A = this chain, B = another copy of it.
Amino acid sequence: MWNRWNLNTMGRPLLLLGIDGGGTACRARLTDIDGNVRGEGAAGPANIRFGLKESFEAALQATNQALKQAGLALGDVDIVACLALAGASEPTNLAAARAIALPFRHALITTDAHAACVGAHGSKDGGIIVIGTGSVGLAVVGGNEYRVGGWGFPVSDEGSGAWLGSEAARRVLWAHDGRACWSELLTTIFQRFNDDPHAIVRWMGEARPRDFAALAPLVLGAASRGDPVACELAGLAAAHIDAIADRLVSCGATRLALAGGIAASIEPWLAAATRRHLVAAEGDALSGALEMARTQAGTAVEMHGIEAQR
């Protein structure tokens, strides 16, 4: 068993850092090599599709918070990090992200979905469906990775928070036009825009997925109270997630875990065919990222002569 590590070269303690960077928020967790949590931090959005700079600033802000909680600063320790970032599946973005110099001993960059899958199932076969600002399904079966959805709003990410929010805004305009009936949900959202459809248009012109997703809790709350429009939307979102689940199961991922900010609220709306495959995740994207950082540190020991000190 590993106990405590130091880098030969510098004599500084080695810590592991996991970053879970989504479309709305970014979390960091710092542990020692035994997995003892030393500090945690949080910051704003970190989807690299909307800007590497913003994404990495959020990641470093969350990291510095975690370090401060541990009573440390960047210069005090050597860090092996795994940054699990939304948008990192796009090869151009990923290459650009990997080219950025980070203040860590080693840094591995992967997607939030991949880290969530590792966190949920460890080294076992299984799939994950992340339902947060965006939505994506990912499975690892027999060493092969299968990905379903998660190509980004507006032409993908069905059933996600951004999708729910934009579909709710759409129906507010339907009701305003007299194309559909008002419901409590639609009235509530319209009031947020001062009952002005043009305010929705202006908002939409600048809105990023996280802005649309900010309406999702209203939708899911209203659905739990039986609002007919909210129930329709929750059902449609769930049907999209069912389609992702169906594909992952057909790839051989018979154990599926859910993750992401609105997963718990969507789960009751899923079809029985999906629900029978659901398992509790062993851990989350952060623990998956930390596990990947730990594996990376193990490799680094061999490659760079890092030694364990017990």
Is the pair B155, A200 in contact by a Cβ cutoff of 8 Å?
yes
Q: Does A177 contact B (CB under 8 A)?
A: yes
Find out whether the CB atom of A91 lies under 8 angstroms from the CB atom of B177: no
The residue that A179 contacts in the complex, of B166, B170, B174, B243, with Cβ under 8 A, is B243
Judge whether A205 is part of the interface by a CB distance below 8 angstroms.
yes
| Distance between Cα atoms of A154 and B200 in the complex (Å) | 11
Contact segment of A29-37, A143-151, A275-283: A143-151
- Cα A169 to Cα B243 in complex, Å, equals 17
Q: Is the CB of B202 within 8 A of A173?
A: no
Bound Cα distance from A91 to B205, whole angstroms: 14
> Is A244 in the interface zone, CB < 8 Å from B?
yes
The range of chain A's interface size is 35 or more
Q: Which of A89, A147, A174 has the most CB of B within 10 A?
A: A174
Q: Counting CB contacts under 8 A, is A195 at the interface?
A: no
Q: A156 near B: Cβ within 8 Å? A: yes
The reply to whether the CB of A142 lies closer than 8 angstroms to some CB of chain B is no
* With A149-B179, A198-B91, A247-B177 as contacts: A166 and B155 at CB distance below 8 Å: yes
Q: Does A102 contact B (CB under 8 A)?
A: no
- On chain B, the residues within 8 Å of A204 by CB distance are 151-152, 154-155
Residue of A151, A152, A178, A200 with highest tally of chain B CB at under 10 A: A151
Given contacts A90-B202, A178-B247, 17 further A-B contacts (CB under 8 A): A90-B198, A90-B201, A147-B177, A148-B178, A151-B197, A151-B201, A151-B204, A152-B205, A154-B166, A155-B166, A155-B169, A155-B173, A156-B170, A174-B243, A178-B250, A178-B251, A179-B247
